[in-house]
Amino acid sequence: MNSYHLYSHTYPVSDFGQIKQKVLNWVQPFSTFCLLDNHQYQVPPHAEECLVAAGARRVLSCPAGQALDALHAFQQEKKSWLFGHLGYDLKNETESLSSAHHDRIGFPDLFFFEPEILIRLNEKEITIEADNPDTVYQSILITNIQKPVRGKTTLTIQQGFTRQEYLDVIQALQRHISRGDCYEINFCQEFFAEKAGIDPLTVYQSLSAVSPNPFSAFYRAEDRWLICASPERFLKKTGTQLLSQPIKGTAGRNPGNPEEDRLNKESLFKSAKDRAENVMVVDLVRNDLSRVCKEGSVKVDELYGIYSFPQVHQMISTVSGELNEETTISQILKAIFPMGSMTGAPKKRVMQLIEQYERTRRGIFSGALGYIDPQGDFDFNVVIRSIMYNQQDDCLSFQAGSGITHYSVAEAEWEECMWKAAAIINVLEKTTGSLY
């Protein structure tokens, strides 16, 4: 395995907010970049406050088939940082499935790049790894902070299902559950707009202001953009330890009424429906981890943890295990991807049902975005609460849905889906010329 050396230098930060805005504006002209931001959440285990990769020395882009083996080979070429994503349709590789639906945005099934420049940013300092860190630092300092750029077109949001069609699907899925085909299934629908004319940076800043979540990202792979406000970690590897933190269970916030907000949080913790969803996914994650972890090492570190974010309370559980020796990244991902929180149980059957009942490909949505470091450790989020944008075709897309169980009420699932979509529509209303 080869490696290369980048020069590294650390500089003090006097105004964290300003330097962060400068980095955002500095990175966006690169045709390939990834900015990961935890918005100062103290998420255990520790995640970098803000990690930025810009420019590409090497690129791996491939469809499902042999993509995960190709990622392992790409990783073995050099001990270097790699940033990129795993698209949901890698399921076709991990479970020998297929996808026939339309993909409006067109992210590759797998895309990773070795950055030319790596930046770590926190409240006290900025560390730059590059061929010439001083030049990069100076270029960031002189970068102008762009004012928000409003769109100049009317943005028409369309969706994949009418209310009645959506209710009919939920009821059909519950019949599958009653027959024993599955226990829980994540069902989503796409919302999209053509001739979108958005400014990705403005939309990202608006989304971050409304929903500053701990696994947020601003990501570009040529003419495809991801604007992500994810609260969920998919999988983190540290040495021989694997950790997953699935989310299942959501309740709205009411910060203007502390007592009602407290009751919402308490109701979520006690909810039989949300607990049923959560424990099913936890069992699925335990099973997935056990395929690559030492016997007896997989454990549930936390069950039904309730965490509060600006817009919602979430039920989050934590599952961990100790890896078998000599386990490669391709073996890990083949055992665990896609994540159980975005599929259901049993995983292969529900992915077949997702293909049957959903109407468009998920693409990068409900996939994962993150990094692999030179030691082979990695950290990936779950791509949810996200806007995808195809700049070449001027088309944007986002998806929303929920977990369906025996306890689900179809009308409530529709309301949850529309409520999640409304949060993103609200962001788009603020950043476009007009919207209907």
Residue 49 pLDDT: 85
What confidence score (pLDDT) does residue 286 get?
Answer: 96
Residues constituting the chain: 436
> Catalytic one among 232, 355, 358, 413?
232
Please give the pLDDT value at position 25: 97
Residue 141 has a CB neighbour count (10 Å cut-off) of 11
| Mean model confidence pLDDT for the chain | 93
CATH number at residue 45: 3.60.120.10
Handedness of CA 43, 45, 47, 49 (dihedral sign): positive
The half-sphere exposure of 378 on its side-chain side, counting CA atoms within 13 A, is 27
Question: Domain of 413?
Answer: 2-435
Bridge-based pairing of strands 2-3 and 78-79 is parallel
Chain mean position to CA 188: 15
Tally the domains of the chain: 1
- Other CB atoms within a 10 A radius of the CB of residue 125 amount to 13
Q: For residue range 179-218, list pLDDT tens digits in order.
A: 999 999 999 999 999 999 899 999 999 999 988 999 999 9
Q: CB within 8 A of 385, min separation 6: which ones?
A: 211, 213, 228, 229, 230, 231, 420, 423, 424
Q: Give the model's pLDDT for residue 5.
A: 64
Q: According to the model, what pLDDT value does residue 155 have?
A: 87
pLDDT digits (tens, 9 = 90+) for 399-422: 999 889 888 999 999 998 998 898
What's the confidence (pLDDT) of residue 312? 82
420 carries an active-site annotation? no
The predicted-structure confidence for 82-97, as pLDDT tens digits, reads as follows: 999 999 999 999 999 9
Determine which one of 22, 248, 347, 420 is catalytic: 248
- Low-confidence spans in the chain with pLDDT less than 50: 436
Question: 232 an active-site residue?
Answer: yes
Q: What pLDDT score was predicted for residue 46?
A: 63
Tell me which residue has tokens 């996939």.
367
pLDDT of residue 45: 64
d(CA 60, CA 117): 17
Number of Cβ within a 10 Å radius of residue 83: 27
pTM score of the predicted model: 0.94
User: Which tokens in the block code for residue 249?
Assistant: 């269970």
